[in-house]
Structure 1
Amino acid sequence: MANDGLSTDGSFTTGALNMGLTQTTSKTTTTSTTMPSNFEGNSLMVRDPLPTWSEPLNISNWGNKCDPPIDRPWLAYLNYHAQPEMIMAIGRLLFPTFIEYGGGVFLEINFSESRFHDWEKKIKAIEKIEAVMNHVHVYDLFMTDNQIDEASFEAVGDLLMHTWQSALEKCYPNRSFKVSISNTEQDYGPVVSFHSS
């Protein structure tokens, strides 16, 4: 596979997710940019399914310290630090398994029938039960003593929001969902959730 950062299927070009602290999405968005080509009569069309993605600062700094500086440090960083098993596990987090139950759709990692029925006694609306049972605190995904920039946690939340929306659309093309991220003073860091809409 060519390692030029461009793809006919719209995969990543370059660029941590710079996101507002509260976002919602009901459809996956993409950006496209037409760029001049060195070959007469041609133009390059770059499509990005993660339009808010930009390269994490610590990875950019890592790549720039090399001599010569590394082109696309994010890709080289993965090459040096990631293992296939890690990428497979991350892929499952980004594109999770869903459970249908009681008219709702739930993250398999958060679901149990007893938990559903506990919430059903307190909340009657299925959308509200979904929202509660499907919420994930981004902080809880990382057990580390390392100092991590808050923007990185927010970026992970934004990435989850986009990929969960895509996964829901693929699994449930005839249903609509609201996938949201919040990071308010009442939250324990960025929180991602979804519910039927």
Structure 2
Amino acid sequence: MADIWQQIPKISEYGTWMDPKTYLRNLGDPVTAVAIALLQKPRFEEVEGCVILAGSDHDNVRDWLRQLPDRQSVEEVVNHVHLWDILPGLDSMPTVVALTLGEWLAWGWERAASEQYPDREFRAEAREGDYGVEVTVSQAHAGGSV
């Protein structure tokens, strides 16, 4: 983890004395920290057998159900975020930094979904694509075709 921290250009400028706790104590913003914490542990809801991020457009889910072959595919489309869209400047960081953040976010999404729907199995992942790191979560067995 420390190696990744030092790969962040702004941090490497400070030197090795600037660890995460020191950074937060001196330069951190509580609102940003809370926003990230809330993003990492979202609420979910069920629409037509799909477990989706709360607040997602239900009509959009229904449209995807008509177009895609199964609920898992629908969940993967609806339940995703591109990290570049929520953290400006992340595209200038080494990929390992974005992947580390994405893996942490995916871990949180999978855990949150599992806690809210304990009778179901979920899988979440962070993967690098054409538009940076994308995080998705879906039911491992989302009920087959729609």
Pick the TM interval, shorter chain.
Answer: 0.7 to 0.9
* TM-score w.r.t. length of structure 2: 0.80
Aligned to 2:62: 117
Aligned to 2:14: 62
- Once the two structures are superposed, residues 143-195 of structure 1 have per-residue CA deviations (whole angstroms, 9 ceiling, x without a partner) of 249832222212211111111122122212211011122214xx311111111
Structure 1 unaligned runs (5+)? 1-14, 17-53
Say whether the 8 Å CA contact 1:55–1:74 is kept in structure 2.
no
Q: CA RMSD in A?
A: 2.3
* TM-score w.r.t. length of structure 1: 0.61
Say whether the 8 Å CA contact 1:106–1:133 is kept in structure 2.
yes
Change (3 A) 1:146 1:153: closer
Change (3 A) 1:151 1:118: same
Say whether the 8 Å CA contact 1:120–1:129 is kept in structure 2.
yes
Say whether the 8 Å CA contact 2:90–2:98 is kept in structure 1.
no
Q: Establish whether residue 135 from structure 1 lines up as the match of residue 87 from structure 2.
A: no
Higher share in helix: 2
Per-residue deviation, 1:60: 6.2
Structure 2 unaligned runs (5+)? 141-146
Aligned to 2:144: none
In structure 1, what is the Cα distance between the partners aligned to 2:118 and 2:12?
A: 37
Alignment of 1:154-165 (within 5 A): 154-165=99-110
Aligned residue pairs: how many? Answer: 137
| Identical-pair percentage | 27
- Once the two structures are superposed, residues 48-71 of structure 1 have per-residue CA deviations (whole angstroms, 9 ceiling, x without a partner) of xxxxxx65113366352xxxx36x
Structure 1 runs of 4+ aligned residues shifted over 3 Å read 58-61, 144-147
Per-residue deviation, 1:124: 4.2
